[in-house]
Every structure is written in structure tokens, then in C-alpha cells.
């Protein structure tokens, strides 16, 4: 009797396992080139006008994504919709239908520097009494905060304004900076010195370097930054006349082409003046100040721990400034759908940003790889899980983020508004998953950055890759808290374990030529299938 019972239990277990494997194979089959193309050709089409945050194209894209979620049977996971239709809408037959929606609206401040900016430098000493009224876009430019700001304060010189433990550099040690204006040199030590290599070895981009320097200045109490540009003349970019036509691969004309980065966005929920204004001086003005103040920048070039501290931190010098800002409120939307699991207080988020760089002068930045590919990947994983017909153990939220290109705003808003963030047990991020990088000559490479908390990630992905004949070359990178300029960082910063799939940069990155016909459809399909297998494993594991 016991033997028969054992055989029955074994046969049932084997039958269930075989059935599950068949269901997974069937789910994998709905992730195919045909279905990926169908969605990609819509999201990356000219009709979507580059999907820039807050524009008509972005709203149309969000409506399309929500309609796909609704068609697949995902539950709406956005904000409660209680908007009362207007009188004219009601006359046309609209009714009041409150309830959950697929949208999570965000109010953002859109801002850029105004045409009028002021910076006055005042030098007071026993033998000198000098004032310089600098001219905007001749002697300086400025990156202001989102709120107009005026102040007068003393100026403190802080070398390069760098705090990097790995380089043995701390320009803020014993620096009396609180409530003062920091004067610093642009770039990194060694940028212009063949004998020193700190700048060359500092493998971050200029944008990342400046962001870290600005954050350090704010952290130590500076109210503004005056940056000396000694290595190059930045004023060439301020030229008011145009002696030749603008001539790029995608644009030729007499006038400069407007650009999405001409303005910035930030959440309207953030406090004003979170960023401090940064004034960048021309080379001629920078050299003038260095001479007047007696600063010797060459003593700052070494990157050793014995680096000399500049004795001129206290300056007989103050500055007055007034920054003006043009701003407006805009609204945009995350798109959220859900498959509720047996455990409702354990959530896995599968997300990708759908925004891109927009349309200017009739030129569309279609953003097929960046990041219609990730958005299509998220929707395809949702469809595959619905195809399984099995309720997952954990709840799954499928997200299309807005405003990633403006600083991960949409995903960060979602995380901050979520409530109990401990319920988010994992997050997957797809960002640029459909092209070959310049290093990928075989067309099979993908990078997977993951949190060390997901310690079996490498073994699991290798198993899926082999078992399902995906034939991908996976480059793994496990770190405690993955960072970087994509939406997984919004989750990682609050301790949520993450997976980030990425196929690398290419010559069409942030160019109007990022088109769907350049996609490696076979690799794209396999990466989405691998993501589905990971998500189902995370959803079901004990």
C-alpha cells in the first residue's frame, strides 16, 4: 500500500513538473520577434514624436501602453481616478466613473536659466579695493537651481572641490565653507598635467564628476559655486554670431537646433533650491582671478596623499549674485499594471522607462533601443506570465517610467510614494536591450548588473541560458547597491535588490537615428525571454 502511494505521489509530482515545463515553454513562445516588432513599431514610430516627458507624444505613448496592459488583463495599479468630467464632456455623454487607473500622474517643474543673470566680484584688502561686474555669456554662465536666488557672501577657495577617498583627495577637510561661496577649479587634478594621472584614471564622465563635486559642495554648506576654467576656453560656446551654418548628420540650418537638455525637470514635491547655483567663468576671467588672488594651481596637480593643502583657502574676496529662472508646471505619467499574487504584501516590480528625447524642428528622436526596447520587454513579460494561466505567489507590478532622461524622476517618485518599501522584494530594470554594442561582434552579448543580495543570480541565469538554448553571452556584475544612470538606482538606493539588463552603447545612442530597423531582433527576443524566466523564478521561489 505504501509503495503504491509513493508511486502515485511520484507520478503526480512528475506530471505537475512536466505540465509546468510545458506551460513555461508555451509562455516563452509568445515572446517572439513578431510580437516584439508589433509593439516596437508603434512606440518608436514618428507618431510618438520622440516620447519626450510631458509632450503630446509621451501622453499618446502612455495611452498606448495602458491599452496593452488592459488588453492583456493586467489590473490597474496607478492612482485612483476621481476626476469629474466637465460640463461640455457630460453633454457629449461622458459620465463620472471613479476607480483605479493605469496612470500615476506627476507634477513637475520645468525650468531653465532666464536671459538675465548677475554676478559681481568684490575684492577688499589693504592695498586693493576692486569690483568686477561680470557679463552673462561673456564672462560667465550659470546652472541655477529651480528657484531664483540672490545672495552676497564671502568666497572660500577649495582647490578642485573634490572629495574622493579612493584618490586620497579631500579638498573639504578643515575648509570653513558653511554659508560661503566655494571657488574651485574645473575638472580633476591632473587633467592638464602629463606627470599626474588622477584625471586620466578617474573613469567617470564629466557629467558624473561635476554632479559629485556639486553634491559635496552642497553637503559642506556652500550656497553657490564659482568654477575657474583654466584648462580650456568654455566661452567659445557662448558666441552670439554664427559665422557658418549648423551642419550635423541629422540637421543643417542657420539657427541652433533646440534640444531637450536646454531645460531641466524636477518633482514639484521636492523643496525649492535643492541644487546650488554653479557659475562657470571664462578662461580669461579665471586666469585674471588666479593672478589677483595669488593662487598657484600647479601645487594642486598631484594626486598623492601627501598633496599640499592650498594655503589660500581664506580669501579677501566676496561675491554678489542674482540668478533668474523661467519655469512652469507640467504634468506627466507613469503607467502601472499589476498581476496580483497569493502574497499581496510581497511585490516584484518589472520596469523600464518609456520617455525619450522628443521632436525638434521636425526631427524625431525615435528612441527605439532607448528605451522602447525595454518598455516592449516589460509588456512582453507580462503577456508571457498571463499566458501561463497560473497565479504567481508574489504580486507583480509592471511599470513604464516617465522622465528617466531627466534624472530618474518617474521611478524615484514611485518608490517614494509606495508606502512600505520593504514590501518591494526585487525589481527588474530593462534599459537598452536590443542592439549590439561596438564590442559585441557576435551579436549575443548582454550585461547583467545585480544586487549581491540576489546571490544565486549568476547560477540561475546560466542555468536558464543553457536549458532554454538562449545562447547569450552574459557579462555579470554583482555589487551591494547597483548605481548608475538608470531606473534600477531608484530602488537600489532604498535597499531593494535589483536586476539590470543592458546591451551597451552604440553610435545611435541619443541620436535621431536610433530606429527600429537597426535592432538585433533575435538577441532582443532572447533577453526578454531570460527576463521572463528570472521574474517567474523570483515570483515563485520560497
Cα torsion 144, 405, 269, 352 to 10°: value is -170
**Whether residue 371 has a cis bond before it, omega within 30° of 0:** yes
Q: Are residues 358 and 474 in the same domain?
A: yes
pLDDT value at residue 272: 75
Domain range for residue 167?
Answer: 115-323
User: Is residue 13 domain-resident?
Assistant: no
Domain with 465 in it: what CATH number?
3.40.630.10
d(CA 50, CA 264): 17
pTM given for the model? 0.83
Q: Which three cell numbers stand for residue 523?
A: 538577441
Count up the domains in the chain and report the number: 2
Report pLDDT for 17.
45
Q: Are residues 96 and 215 in the same domain?
A: no
Nearest to 484 by CA among 467, 471, 463, 498: 498
Residue 521 belongs to a domain = yes
Same domain as 58, residue 39: yes
Burial status of residue 362 (CB atoms within 10 A of its CB: 0-12, 13-18, 19 or more): exposed
* Chain length of the chain: 542
Any idea what the Cα angle at residue 368 is, between residues 347 and 494, rounded to 5°? 30
Cα 250 to chain centroid distance, Å, stands at: 25
Q: Is residue 145 part of a domain?
A: yes
Grid cell listed for 296: 598657484
Confirm if 359 and 98 have CB atoms less than 8 A apart.
no
The CATH number that applies at residue 275 is 3.50.30.30
Q: How far apart are CA 255 and CA 252, in angstroms?
A: 9
In a domain, 20, yes or no: no
Q: Is 120 exposed, middle or buried (0-12, 13-18, 19+ CB in 10 A)?
A: middle
Contacts (Cβ under 8 Å, ≥6 apart) of 256: 242, 246
Task: Decide if 338 is inside a domain.
Answer: yes
Residue 84 and residue 156 in one domain: no
Q: Give CA angle at 263 (262, 268), nearest 5°.
A: 175
- Location of C-alpha cell 544565486: 456
The DSSP element (H or E) to which 267 belongs, if any, is: strand 264-267
- Averaged pLDDT, groups of 10, the chain, 542 residues long: 45 46 92 97 97 97 98 94 71 72 95 94 81 94 90 91 81 89 86 44 60 91 93 86 79 86 88 84 92 71 45 74 94 97 96 97 96 98 96 97 96 94 96 94 94 95 96 96 94 96 96 97 98 96 84
Residue 257's pLDDT is: 87
The answer to the question of residue 12 being in a domain is no
> 227 pairs with which residues across the strands?
184, 280
482 within a domain of the structure (yes/no)? yes
Angstrom distance (rounded) from CA 366 to CA 503:
18
Same domain, 155 and 302: yes
Q: Is 204 part of any domain?
A: yes
Say yes or no: 119 and 87 in one domain: no
Nearest by Cα to 528 from 21, 37, 8: 37
Give the pLDDT of residue 207.
66
CB 181 within 8 A of CB 319: yes
CA Rg value for the chain? 27
Amino acid at each position: 500500500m505504501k509503495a503504491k502511494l509513493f508511486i502515485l505521489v511520484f507520478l503526480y509530482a512528475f506530471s505537475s513538473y512536466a505540465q509546468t515545463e510545458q506551460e513555461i515553454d508555451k509562455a516563452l513562445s509568445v515572446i517572439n520577434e513578431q510580437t516584439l516588432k508589433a509593439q516596437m513599431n508603434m512606440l518608436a514610430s514618428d507618431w510618438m514624436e520622440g516620447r519626450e516627458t510631458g509632450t503630446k507624444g509621451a501622453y499618446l505613448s502612455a495611452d498606448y501602453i495602458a491599452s496593452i496592459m488592459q488588453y492583456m488583463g493586467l489590473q490597474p495599479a496607478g492612482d485612483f481616478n476621481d476626476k469629474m468630467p466637465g460640463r461640455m464632456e457630460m453633454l457629449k455623454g461622458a459620465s463620472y466613473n471613479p476607480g483605479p487607473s493605469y496612470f500615476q500622474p506627476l507634477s513637475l517643474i520645468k525650468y531653465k536659466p532666464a536671459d538675465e543673470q548677475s554676478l559681481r566680484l568684490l575684492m577688499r584688502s589693504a592695498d586693493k579695493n576692486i569690483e568686477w561686474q561680470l557679463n552673462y555669456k561673456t564672462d560667465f554662465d550659470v546652472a541655477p537651481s529651480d528657484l531664483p536666488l540672490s545672495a552676497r557672501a564671502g568666497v572660500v577657495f577649495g582647490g578642485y572641490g573634490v572629495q574622493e577617498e579612493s584618490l586620497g583627495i579631500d579638498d573639504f577637510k578643515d575648509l570653513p565653507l558653511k554659508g560661503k561661496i566655494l571657488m574651485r577649479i574645473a575638472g580633476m587634478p591632473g587633467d592638464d598635467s602629463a606627470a599626474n594621472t588622477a584625471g586620466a584614471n578617474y573613469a567617470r564622465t564629466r557629467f558624473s564628476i561635476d554632479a559629485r563635486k556639486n553634491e559635496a559642495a552642497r553637503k559642506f554648506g556652500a550656497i553657490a559655486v564659482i568654477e575657474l576654467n583654466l584648462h580650456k576656453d568654455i566661452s567659445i560656446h557662448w558666441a552670439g554670431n554664427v559665422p557658418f551654418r549648423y551642419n550635423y548628420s541629422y540637421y543643417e540650418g542657420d539657427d541652433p537646433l533646440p534640444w531637450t537638455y536646454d531645460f531641466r525637470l524636477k518633482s514639484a514635491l521636492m523643496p525649492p533650491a535643492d541644487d546650488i547655483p554653479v557659475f562657470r567663468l571664462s578662461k580669461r576671467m579665471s586666469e585674471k582671478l588666479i593672478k589677483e588672488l595669488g593662487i598657484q594651481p600647479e601645487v594642486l596637480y598631484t594626486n598623492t596623499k601627501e598633496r599640499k593643502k592650498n594655503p589660500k583657502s581664506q580669501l579677501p574676496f566676496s561675491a554678489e549674485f542674482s540668478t533668474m529662472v523661467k519655469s512652469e508646471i507640467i504634468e506627466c505619467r507613469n503607467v502601472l499594471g499589476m498581476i496580483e499574487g497569493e502574497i499581496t504584501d510581497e511585490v516584484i516590480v518589472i520596469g523600464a522607462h518609456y520617455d525619450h528625447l522628443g521632436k525638434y524642428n521636425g526631427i524625431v528622436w525615435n528612441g527605439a533601443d532607448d528605451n522602447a526596447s525595454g518598455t516592449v520587454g516589460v509588456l512582453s513579460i507580462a503577456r508571457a506570465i498571463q499566458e501561463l494561466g497560473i497565479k504567481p505567489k508574489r504580486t507583480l507590478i509592471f511599470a513604464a517610467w516617465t522622465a528617466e532622461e531627466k534624472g530618474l524622476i518617474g521611478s524615484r517618485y514611485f518608490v517614494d510614494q509606495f508606502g512600505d518599501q520593504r514590501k518591494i522584494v526585487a525589481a527588474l530594470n530593462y534599459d537598452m536591450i536590443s542592439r549590439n554594442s561596438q564590442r559585441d561582434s557576435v551579436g549575443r552579448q548582454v550585461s547583467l548588473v545585480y544586487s549581491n543580495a540576489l546571490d544565486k543570480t549568476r547560477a540561475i541565469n546560466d542555468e536558464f541560458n543553457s536549458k532554454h538554448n538562449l545562447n547569450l553571452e552574459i557579462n555579470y556584475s554583482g555589487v551591494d547597491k547597483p548605481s548608475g544612470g538608470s531606473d534600477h538606482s531608484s530602488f537600489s538606493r532604498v535597499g531593494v535588490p535589483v536586476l539590470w539588463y543592458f546591451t551597451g552603447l552604440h553610435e545611435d545612442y541619443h541620436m535621431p537615428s536610433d530606429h527600429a530597423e537597426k535592432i538585433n531582433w533575435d538577441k532582443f527576443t532572447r533577453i526578454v525571454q531570460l527576463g521572463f524566466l528570472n521574474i517567474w523564478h523570483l515570483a515563485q521561489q520560497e
